[in-house]
Amino acid sequence: MTTSQMAVVFGILGNIVAFLVYLAPLPTFYRICKKKSTEGFQSIPYSVALFSAMLTLYYAMLKSNGFLLITINSIGCAIESTYLIIFLIYATGSTRMYAIKLLILFNAGTFGLILLCTSFIPNAYLKLKVVGWICAVFSVCVFAAPLSIIRLVIKTKSVEYMPFPLSFCLTLCAVMWFFYGLLVNDFFIASPNILGFLFGIAQMIIYIVYKRHSKEGILPEFKLKEAPTGVELEVAKENKAKENNKNIDQGAELADNKPLQENTTINDDNKSASMEGKNVESVV
């Protein structure tokens, strides 16, 4: 098998695995559509994924042999855009406004600025290098993002927020694209995926180490995606207030009844003393 054929094989495998990674949030959006609420979810991961796909798609279009990059990143743009549309439909208030601002400033503004600045570069080869470096730097930032999740796992000793299948798919995806970039002599594709592979291996090792702690219930019973909504919190506060008022009323009632009980006890003592007096008189 020649080098170009091996590159095609790894490129196709990379497309398949990357497609599975893009489909990973489907259960999340099924939940959002079912409950008609975004609950505790945020739009940042989908906005970042969309920007990454847009940037890599732009880079692939500048290349002469970037067909396999164009296919998967076109699909990625479509899938992530669909996720964000669904998110905006069911998001409310400040959450929706934040998502809109992020799309305008980050996805449209930053990407538009990159397009504008690179359009003034007359040399096609130099433009490819500049866009390639931008893609590589951004990919490194994306691959470094799981560091916060790793820190959370170590801190809580629970792997609730770091599912193993997703970590495995991301690691496998990094391996495929690394070999693809290596075989087509594309430094900007191969180099960031080295870091992605290392972080993926680190996540899986940490998952295995801390997996047994997840059963001990160290974290609260609800996960981030199952966090109570604002309405549920208000209902809980009202119920708590009612319970406190009930306890106060019961305490006041007991306090009011105490003097009556004391008076009853005194009257009973007086009656007993009176009866004893009468008994003494009768004996005398």
CA distance 174 to 197: 5
Query: Which residues, 6+ apart, have CB-to-CB distance to 215 below 8 Å?
Result: none
More confident residue, 249 or 178: 178
- Least confident window among 143-147, 161-165, 214-218, 277-281: 277-281
pTM of the shown model: 0.70
More confident residue, 272 or 25: 25
Give the pLDDT band (50/70/90) at residue 110: very high
Give the pLDDT band (50/70/90) at residue 97: very high
Tokens of 166: 């997703």
**223: which DSSP letter?**
-
More confident residue, 245 or 267: 245
Mean pLDDT of 244-266: 53
Mean pLDDT of 53-58: 94
Determine the pLDDT at residue 246.
Answer: 59
Question: CB neighbours (10 Å) of residue 132?
Answer: 18
Give the burial class of 180: count Cβ atoms within 10 A of its Cβ; 0-12 exposed, 13-18 middle, 19 or more buried. buried
Nearest to 23 by CA among 94, 76, 97: 76
Mean pLDDT of 40-48: 85
Asked if residues 179 and 17 have their Cβ atoms less than 8 Å apart, the reply is: no
Nearest to 27 by CA among 144, 165, 145, 215: 165
Determine the pLDDT at residue 236.
Answer: 56
Q: What mean pLDDT, rounded, does the chain reach?
A: 79
More confident residue, 39 or 31: 31
Amino acid at 145: A
Question: CB neighbours (10 Å) of residue 111?
Answer: 15
Give percent above pLDDT 90 in the chain: 42
Mean pLDDT of 33-38: 90
pLDDT over 70 (residue 223): no
CA angle 14/20/23 to nearest 5° reads: 140
CA distance 27 to 244: 39
pLDDT in tens, 275-284: 444 433 333 3
Nearest to 197 by CA among 216, 213, 181: 181
Asked if residues 195 and 214 have their Cβ atoms less than 8 Å apart, the reply is: no
